[in-house]
A = this chain, B = another copy of it.
Amino acid sequence: MSHDAVLEATRRLLEESTEGGLPSTNRIARRAGVSVGTLYQYFDSREAILRALVREHSQEMSALVVSHAGPLGLSAPRDVIPAFIDAMAAAHAVAPRLHLALVRETLSDPALLAEVQDPARALVVGWLELHRDVIRPKDLSAAAFLLTRSVEAAIHGQLFEDPARLGDTSWRRELCDLLVRYLLE
């Protein structure tokens, strides 16, 4: 219970604050309505909170994307791609500041980065394999890498540089073009 309260408090603090850093343990505890001691009953260290947060967040994001675009898994890639882009944009729009903060923090922790990125990439590889016959590139793993990186990059660009324009359709069309031309010839 307190475990979740701590995580939720951190999420809120992160979503509210302007600068990137993880809040102090005391601040998190106060916001969670518990004492610092309690916080340390559930997490070994400040870093452990971050890790838990990143894991939960990445699963939530995956779930969101899947629930948006997942059902289309069997449709033609040409239809799935724009849906996927929309789903990714929507998932990123839920808590953009939190997302930014977590991305920022994960950047300097390769192990955590991998832990979070590998399953997501595996999902994409699976989808590519499903449609192997119409997918142009042969190295599916390399393709998945490029794919996920590019989509995230585009969305992050929008998010970090000009959040207001995240809903725009122009960059989506362009990104869709990029992917379709790369994947489908």
Residues of A within 8 A of B (CB): 18-20, 100-101, 103-104, 107-108, 110, 113-114, 117, 137, 139, 142-143, 145-146, 149-150, 152-154, 156-157, 160-161, 170-171, 174-175, 177-178, 181-182, 185
Contact = CB atoms under 8 A, between A and B. Distances in A.
A143 B174 contact: yes
Identical copies in the complex: 4
A114 B150 contact: no
Contacts of A19: 108
29 contacts: A18-B108, A19-B108, A100-B107, A104-B104, A107-B107, A107-B160, A113-B160, A113-B161, A114-B161, A137-B174, A142-B170, A142-B174, A143-B174, A145-B154, A145-B157, A145-B174, A146-B150, A146-B154, A146-B171, A146-B175, A149-B150, A149-B154, A149-B157, A150-B153, A150-B154, A150-B178, A152-B153, A153-B153, A177-B182
A41 to B, nearest CB: 10
Contact of A161 (B20, B101, B108, B110): B110
B146 A178 contact: yes
